[in-house]
Chain A
């Protein structure tokens, strides 16, 4: 190991790309640790409270790309109060005070303020790429700062963020000298957009490959944009409504024929189905299609579209496609790897949108399927057993039966056997979400068979502490466990406290853990932050027996966080 000069080691490490591998490399010996950290450019921080910006900056002086995740996953579903935390400001402050020439920042479930964006834009001269997923706290004012000040901006990707729209003029803030854009996604913006500025921006961005528009961009503008950017690879339409007999629509049909590079298609936030034929010519080349916001496309139009997309690898769709529509997917999309079926009727009373039949059809027709998110009306053990047999390659299997604790409607049994078959058959399973009626048995199976499992989401399941213990004991690679409304209490929590240091985090809400149990855990494991979220002043200090409504614990190098709001107690 000592014969090679550092440069050679560094060169070898260049070929080690994944975060995990690089982390492993850094543990071999001091020399490797030093060479690795000095040459590391991309860092992934799964929990922003696991370490501090200072630690990060000290260790990786060559940092160019940083990914940060903030709130726990269940924050996406309103289970985490608004001001819980996850602020990016301290990170940007620290980075701006350092010599780090950060070029890329990717944030997920973090609170991003306009000041943060402004500071970022002014202090990081070489900044090139901003990706915000499921973030909140900023407005179009912050976007204007990014547009105006980041001279070499290549990527501005806003995915499913809550953004306050003050005006559409942020787009005009891109200076005329900005010609470096490769990717621009503002689909989640709710307000109006300066259309002329958008068209000019596209016209002066010859490298633009990915463009996702919001609802405010009409079809005429889409037509103009595609004329100027036929090289697009990824397109998200805005409002796709027009009179199919109009000249604009006719022009669009011809323009699209020139867009031979489009491989990803999304949007259709508003849609006139009679205008869909314009996109038929590009369907055959599509590898990714996201119609999960296209509530206006149904039934036969949807099926007609899908029939043309033989090369699809990724499909995100609403459940109004129905089981019959999924059968069409199964017979058409033989290359399908990832399928997400979202509920179109999120408030209930829907009638059978998709059922187990659709999933069985997909599993039979799409052998390459490895990632699934499936919201359905019902599921049977028999179907899951067939799916497990047809698709042993699942990496992600997330099943959400819309009605909590619903059993197999044919046998009235819990779905333990079905999920058991999935974990037994899919040896590479890394992520699993359960639903339906489930007893402790399913967790026994998971503990026994899900050897590669890293993330497990559980809701309304299990009978006793045993369930959680099977999982904690059996799943050696478990990193994230999130549980809601299950009967797990202090015994489950405290039996193997060391386990939590091998994991990123544990979330338990509406379970049976008590304040006393959490306190005991916090005392035994000082390197964990055990946070109690106390929303309604339920807890009296000292009432050890009291059930804790929400608990979130995570390993950390830096002890209790200083930005916790009043209702969060770190024990």
Chain B
């Protein structure tokens, strides 16, 4: 239970006005506990330190490697005082925050190499996911890596619905990945940046294995499958 201030002895340092200010009360969620004036001044601090970085990051957001969400993030509840800060500000780098030593930060940053396994290939490859900006780019790169042997089928096709198909070997592959929880997921369901975060390794699974678990494997030019994929692309 939180400390009960009503049992304060009169001889304590706490004056009656202070006492009143700090009296525990039950309140509905969202009820302000303190005057707007005080809060405004406090916000000023955060704004001051955050503003220093706002300019930088907004201009470099496209280059920043998926670390800053432009729009709303999940925890965008406004501060008790009222108008919340713009969501982007919440995720800006405040100098020295979070309090982690530079050595540690640097050890965890940097490239995001993941292994790529292709069913039937004699060896695996590694790709740095951070150099790509979209699923399309990634799959194109993978396609090139393994192009001599395989055709990769994905939800994300090239420009104008071009299919990647090599008639000589009519093998199609479904791109899957292992996420942070160890589950095997279909590539393409989540936003690219979320994928970057959670992808630990990639496996290009033979279509035959994927039968029954994914959308029906019809003729490659099947409209429904590709249209659905295009719509997903457009919605982003």
Of B22, B33, B48, B104, which is within 8 A of A292 by CB?
B104
Report the separation of the CA atoms of residues A449 and B3 in the bound assembly, to the nearest whole angstrom.
9
Query: Which residues from B are CB-within-8-Å of A188?
Result: 103
19 further interface pairs, Cβ-Cβ under 8 Å (given A349-B91, A400-B99) = A78-B95, A134-B101, A160-B101, A344-B108, A346-B108, A348-B67, A404-B97, A405-B46, A407-B80, A411-B29, A424-B2, A441-B21, A441-B22, A459-B97, A460-B46, A463-B38, A463-B39, A486-B45, A510-B49
Nearest-Cβ distance from residue B156 to partner chain A, whole angstroms: 22
- Going nearest first, the 6 A-B pairs with the smallest beta carbon separation are A77-B96, A300-B182, A417-B2, A348-B91, A347-B67, A299-B182
- Determine if B75 and A409 form an interchain contact, defined as CB atoms under 8 angstroms apart: yes
- Determine if B2 and A464 form an interchain contact, defined as CB atoms under 8 angstroms apart: no
Report the separation of the CA atoms of residues A346 and B102 in the bound assembly, to the nearest whole angstrom.
10
Nearest-Cβ distance from residue B75 to partner chain A, whole angstroms: 6
Chain B 73-98, CB-CB to A under 8 Å as 1, else 0, gives 11101011000000000111111111
- Determine if B100 and A300 form an interchain contact, defined as CB atoms under 8 angstroms apart: no
- Determine if A466 and B79 form an interchain contact, defined as CB atoms under 8 angstroms apart: no
- Determine if B79 and A77 form an interchain contact, defined as CB atoms under 8 angstroms apart: no
Chain B 182-212, CB-CB to A under 8 Å as 1, else 0, gives 1000000000011001001000000000000
- Determine if B45 and A487 form an interchain contact, defined as CB atoms under 8 angstroms apart: yes
Chain A 525-550, CB-CB to B under 8 Å as 1, else 0, gives 00000000000000000000000000
A80 and chain B: residue at smallest CB distance: B96
**Interface residues of B, count at CB 8 A:** 61
Q: Is B170 an interface residue (CB 8 A)?
A: no
- Determine if B74 and A347 form an interchain contact, defined as CB atoms under 8 angstroms apart: no
Q: Is A119 an interface residue (CB 8 A)?
A: no
Report the separation of the CA atoms of residues A460 and B30 in the bound assembly, to the nearest whole angstrom.
20
Q: A413-B33, A463-B39 are in contact. Are A76 and B101 (CB under 8 A)?
A: yes
Of A322, A348, A352, A510, which is within 8 A of B68 by CB?
A348
- Determine if B3 and A445 form an interchain contact, defined as CB atoms under 8 angstroms apart: yes
- Determine if A348 and B93 form an interchain contact, defined as CB atoms under 8 angstroms apart: yes
A447 and chain B: residue at smallest CB distance: B13
Q: Is A147 an interface residue (CB 8 A)?
A: no
- Give residues of chain B (24-50) contacting chain A, Cβ–Cβ below 8 Å: 24, 27, 29-30, 33-34, 38-39, 41-42, 45-46, 48-49
- Determine if A405 and B97 form an interchain contact, defined as CB atoms under 8 angstroms apart: no
- Determine if A343 and B100 form an interchain contact, defined as CB atoms under 8 angstroms apart: yes
Query: Which residues from A are CB-within-8-Å of B96?
Result: 74, 77-79, 484
Q: Is B217 an interface residue (CB 8 A)?
A: no
Query: Which residues from A are CB-within-8-Å of B168?
Result: none
Size bracket, chain A contacts: 35 or more
- Determine if A342 and B100 form an interchain contact, defined as CB atoms under 8 angstroms apart: yes
Nearest-Cβ distance from residue A145 to partner chain B, whole angstroms: 23
Query: Which residues from A are CB-within-8-Å of B74?
Result: 351-352
Query: Which residues from A are CB-within-8-Å of B159?
Result: none
Query: Which residues from B are CB-within-8-Å of A405?
Result: 42, 46, 79
Of B33, B107, B182, which is within 8 A of A269 by CB?
B107
Report the separation of the CA atoms of residues A520 and B104 in the bound assembly, to the nearest whole angstrom.
39
Nearest-Cβ distance from residue B30 to partner chain A, whole angstroms: 5
Chain A 417-439, CB-CB to B under 8 Å as 1, else 0, gives 10011001000000001000101
Q: Is A54 an interface residue (CB 8 A)?
A: no
Q: Is A152 an interface residue (CB 8 A)?
A: no
B37 and chain A: residue at smallest CB distance: A463
- Give residues of chain B (104-141) contacting chain A, Cβ–Cβ below 8 Å: 104-105, 107-109
- Determine if B18 and A466 form an interchain contact, defined as CB atoms under 8 angstroms apart: yes
